[in-house]
Amino acid sequence: MSDTAKPRHRMGEPRLQKPPWLKVKPRASKEYFELRELFRQTRLHTVCDEARCPNTAECWSQRTATFLILGDKCTRRCTFCNIGYGWSGEVDRDEPRRLAEGVSRLGLRHVVITSVDRDDLDDGGASIFVESIERLRALDPAPRIELLTPDFAGKEGALESVLDAAPDIFAHNLETVPRLYPGVRPRSSYEGSLEVLARAHRWKPRPVVKTGIMVGLGETIEEIEAVMRDCVEAGVRIFTVGQYLQPTAKHHRVERFYHPDEFKDLARRGRELGLAWVEAGPLVRSSYHAARQLEALT
The pTM assigned to this predicted structure is 0.88
Q: Which residues contact 269 (CB under 8 A, 6 or more apart)?
A: 224, 225, 228
Banded model confidence at residue 51, pLDDT cuts 50, 70, 90: low
Looking at per-residue confidence, does 57 or 217 come out higher?
A: 217
Which amino acid appears at position 14 of this protein?
A: P
Q: Could you report the per-residue pLDDT of 64-101, keeping only the tens digit for each? A: 668 889 988 899 989 998 888 899 889 999 999 999 99
Whole-number pLDDT of residue 269: 98
Residue 146 scores a pLDDT above 80? yes
Q: Give me the mean pLDDT over the 267-287 stretch.
A: 93
| Mean pLDDT computed over 132-141 | 96
Q: What is the pLDDT of residue 6?
A: 43
Q: Is the pLDDT of residue 122 over 90?
A: yes
Task: Give the pLDDT mean for 130-154.
Answer: 95
- Using the Cα atoms of residue 33, residue 171, residue 89 and residue 51 in order, give the sign of their dihedral: negative
pLDDT score, position 139 = 96
Query: Any idea which fold 18-297 has?
Result: TIM Barrel (3.20.20)
Report whether pLDDT(294) > 80: no
pLDDT tens for each residue of 170-201: 999 999 999 999 999 999 999 999 999 999 99
CA dihedral of residues 243, 171, 149, 248 (deg, nearest 10) = 0
Region 142-155 average pLDDT:
95
Model pLDDT for residues 223-234, shown as the tens digit of each residue: 999 999 999 999
Q: Report the relative pairing of strands 45-46 and 66-69 from DSSP bridges.
A: antiparallel
Q: How confident is the model at residue 207 (pLDDT cuts 50, 70, 90)?
A: very high
53 or 90: which carries more pLDDT confidence?
90
- Rounded distance between C-alpha atoms, residue 284 and residue 263, angstroms: 10
- When the pLDDT of each residue in the chain is averaged and rounded to a whole number, the result is 87
Question: Which pLDDT value is given to residue 60?
Answer: 58
Confidence tier at 3 by pLDDT (50, 70, 90): very low
Residue 141, preceding peptide bond in cis (omega within 30° of 0): yes
- Domain-by-domain residue ranges, the chain? 18-297
Q: Does residue 205 have a cis bond before it (omega within 30 degrees)?
A: yes
Question: Per-residue confidence at 7, pLDDT binned at 50, 70, 90?
Answer: very low
